[in-house]
Amino acid sequence: MNKTWLLFLIPLFLFSSCFKEDERMKPYDRGNIITDTIGMTQTYKYQVYYSLDDSTVVSQNNKGIFDLVFDNASDKAGVYPNTANFAKVARTGQHDLSAVSSIAGLSFGFDASSGNTDSLAFGNWFVVENTDTLWSSEVFVVDLGYDDVGNALGYRKVVIDSLVGGRYHFRYALLNNTQTWTGTAAKTGSSNYIYFSFSTHEQVFPEPPREDYDLLFTQYTTLLYTNEGEPYPYIVTGVLLNRFQTQCYLDTSLVFQEINSESVRDQIFTPRPDIIGYDWKEVKGDVNTGNVYYEVKFGNSYFIKDQKGFYYKLRFAGFYNRSGEKGFPVIEFQKL
């Protein structure tokens, strides 16, 4: 062998031997495709929090146990109505709670299911006093919407007085001024939101810790469009993403059984809460007579990236239980 080449190869060998070996990915069992049924019931009265990692229902609650929703993060101050009840909110421009006694002339708005903060019913309700104090005196009227069997829940007028030291302070009353209450809701730091009930006059805790679930099966309010392109609010039944580090991508081209870890490469994921939404099913039959049924779109495959960085493929396989009752979404999913 040419000595020059030999002298070249020796230092190359020594140099390359100093490189650290590629770290091996720790193997884990991806398991088989899991099928599960989510019991929202025929009236969709339950909100169901689901963990893909544990393939289990983390918790569930009646969707009507709260009326106001507040941001729980230390750097946020949003206030929201219960969109699962089709609740809506009107600004009155008034600053005296007792002066508002009618909904006449009010314009009610809804929160966008997309999570767009520019489309919030309460909007920027506050004035900033300092970094730890927000306050307001404007009166809002909340149409509480409907319960799961269609009964109107009435109205409340409310003033979000302040957010101080992680605690929301507010007053609320009946429109006829016969009763007025004060309320507080304290940030806990564990869930995405905190909740308050006008019925029980106390803070309630329907949402589990944000690290414990991936999907929320629920009714929620969204905007649909007429044939002329006019938007109108409508209550739908579907799935919302956990807003904590959870993302999703919809694919309609791949065969579900053939989707693997390579399928998620170069896909653009979004944290938009309603990316799964309600559109995985469609209404069949005669909507004028009410003789309709729901058919799932088997071609819709959802790639979900959870907060731990794992990917899942998921699709819907049904909307009925074995007794033929609607309101029981059937999901199929597998870790990739």
Asked whether the predicted pLDDT for residue 53 surpasses 70, the reply is yes
> Is the distance from CB of 140 to CB of 90 less than 8 angstroms?
yes
Per-residue pLDDT at 50:
98
Per-residue pLDDT at 8:
35
Residue 42's pLDDT band, with cuts at 50, 70 and 90, is very high
CA separation for the pair 297, 320 (Å, rounded): 14
Q: Look at residues 276, 237, 218, 272 and name the one whose alpha carbon lies nearest to residue 65.
A: 218
Encode pLDDT of 135-155 as tens digits. Answer: 999 999 999 999 999 999 999
The reported pTM is 0.89
Q: Look at residues 153, 168, 160 and name the one whose alpha carbon lies nearest to residue 203.
A: 168
Q: Tokens for 11, please give them.
A: 């230092």
CA separation for the pair 204, 82 (Å, rounded): 13
CA separation for the pair 82, 64 (Å, rounded): 8
CA separation for the pair 114, 231 (Å, rounded): 14
Asked whether the predicted pLDDT for residue 160 surpasses 90, the reply is yes
CA separation for the pair 333, 284 (Å, rounded): 25
Per-residue pLDDT at 226:
86
CA separation for the pair 127, 298 (Å, rounded): 48
Q: Look at residues 191, 186, 184, 188 and name the one whose alpha carbon lies nearest to residue 207.
A: 191
Q: Which of 149-163, 195-209, 276-290 has the lowest mean pLDDT?
A: 276-290
Asked whether the predicted pLDDT for residue 315 surpasses 90, the reply is yes
Per-residue pLDDT at 57:
98
Identity at 326, one-letter amino acid code? K
Encode pLDDT of 187-244 as tens digits. Answer: 999 999 999 999 999 999 999 999 999 999 999 999 888 888 888 899 999 999 999 9
Residue 159's pLDDT band, with cuts at 50, 70 and 90, is very high
